[in-house]
Structure 1
Amino acid sequence: MRLIGSTASPFVAKVRMAALVCDLELDFEVIDVNAQPDALLSLNPLGKIPVLVTETGTPVFDSTVICELLDRITGNALLPQTLEGFAQTRTFEAAASGVMDALILCLYEERYRPEEKRHSGWVGRQMAKADRGLDWLDRHLDELGAQPTLAHCALAALLGWMELRFAGKAEREHPRLAEWRDRFFDGHPRLKDVKPHL
């Protein structure tokens, strides 16, 4: 199977980490979403990454759907089978992905909008969402078990991406999350290799 994305994307990193946890090898194809929109749009009409192209040529998106597919392919390597474990893992993943969404919107506002047109109130609301999500993840951190699940992959991808795009934020505001990130990557060097980077 072929995974199309960017090395800097936290959503792509989540999928790449999930594939490694599942012991699946994906052919990774880096695409510049700005320079190659037609190639991406032919696979995903939304123009978003990641996209997984199955062995039959079927494009699958977004990261949550791709991870669920990987879990099914491997007989539930990412998602616990108990109702409580499943709900806890998916909720943790949703919180981490929600923080990614909010922080990406803040980043895009700064990167792509001229300074005189930036909406500071809107950015403040997005940052507040991200901060509430990080607070929640911090409070529930001890609920993560030792065996990596989709929750671990989502949190590691988020925190690895924050290290790249919001350097020092986790260390300053959520040192427990920063410590967890470092311990997790030290214990899982293969996953560290696919954390977001330029």
Structure 2
Amino acid sequence: MQLIGMMDSPYVRRVAISLHVLGLPFEHRSVSVFRHFDEFAKINPVVKAPTLVDDGGAVLVDSTLILDYLDRKVPAERRLLPEDLATRTFALRVVGFGLAAAEKTVQQVYERELRPAERQHEPWFERVRAQMHAAYGVLEQLVASRGDGWLCADRITQADITAAVAWRFTQYMLPGALDAVRYPALTALSARLEALPEFVATPLE
């Protein structure tokens, strides 16, 4: 399998980490949707990261759909989204708010770095920033409710991965935007997971 995209994307990184956790061999190709547009278009004409090319040559897009596919390649007891409905629902809540926080981070970065200064709309920027903090506020409560262990089981799941990846991504892209004092549970979760071999093997850069 080939994973196409840059690790500075939270969507690419959560797929890469999940591949490592699941023990699925893959080749990572650091192709940028900005700097290598034409090269990326030859793999996926939509130029969307992450893109996964499976061993049969099928091209898959969207991190959530890719992760669903990867979960089906391993036995149920090893899947990163739990099978039990109640546990799965909690995991999906964490993943959903984590992805929302990452999305609102991306929107802020695009507004500041890609849109010309004279066309930037401050009320829109403030709204998106508030949405990001709202998402992290809910995520902080969900993570704190599970103490210091794994969020959904006696092992790492997609909830742990996505929450930690989103948190680290915002810290990286928006330095100083997140106060560790305001989000102690997320800060602790991130520190613990970023020390894992699967996270170390996929540095955000």
TM-score, structure 1 normalization: 0.92
Other-structure match for 2:186: 177
SS in 2 for 1:49: coil
Letter in 2 for 1:107: V
Distance in 2 of aligned mates of 1:45 and 1:88:
35
Say which structure is richer in helix: 1
- Specify whether residues 84 and 42 from structure 1 end up closer, same or farther in structure 2 by C-alpha distance, changes over 3 A only: farther
- Gap change, CA 1:152 and 1:89, over 3 Å in 2: same
Structure 1: runs of 5+ lacking an equivalent: none
Q: Separation in 2 of the partners of 1:92 and 1:184? A: 15
**Map of 1:126 onto structure 2:** 128
1:80–1:89 Cα contact (<8 Å) kept:
yes
Specify whether residues 39 and 95 from structure 1 end up closer, same or farther in structure 2 by C-alpha distance, changes over 3 A only: same
Deviation at 1:154, TM superposition (A): 0.6
Quick check: 2:40–2:47 contact (8 Å CA) kept in 1?
Answer: yes
| Structure 2 partner of 1:10 | 10
* Runs of at least 4 residues off by over 4 Å: none
Following TM superposition, by how much is the alpha carbon of 1:39 offset from its aligned partner in structure 2, in angstroms? 3.0
Report which stretch shifted further, 101-110 or 37-46. 37-46
How far did residue 45 of structure 1 move? Answer: 4.1
What is the TM-score with the length of structure 2 in the denominator? 0.89
Residue in structure 2 matched with residue 60 of structure 1 by the alignment: 60
- For the aligned residue pairs, the C-alpha RMSD in angstroms reads 1.6
1:24-43 pair list within 5 angstroms: 24-43=24-43
Aligned residue among 107, 117, 120 for 2:119: 117
Q: Deviations over 1:140-161 (max 9, x none)?
A: 1033144111111111211221
Size of the aligned set, in residue pairs, is 196
SS of the residue corresponding to residue 173 of structure 1 reads: coil
Q: Which runs of 5 or more structure 2 residues have no equivalent in the other structure?
A: none
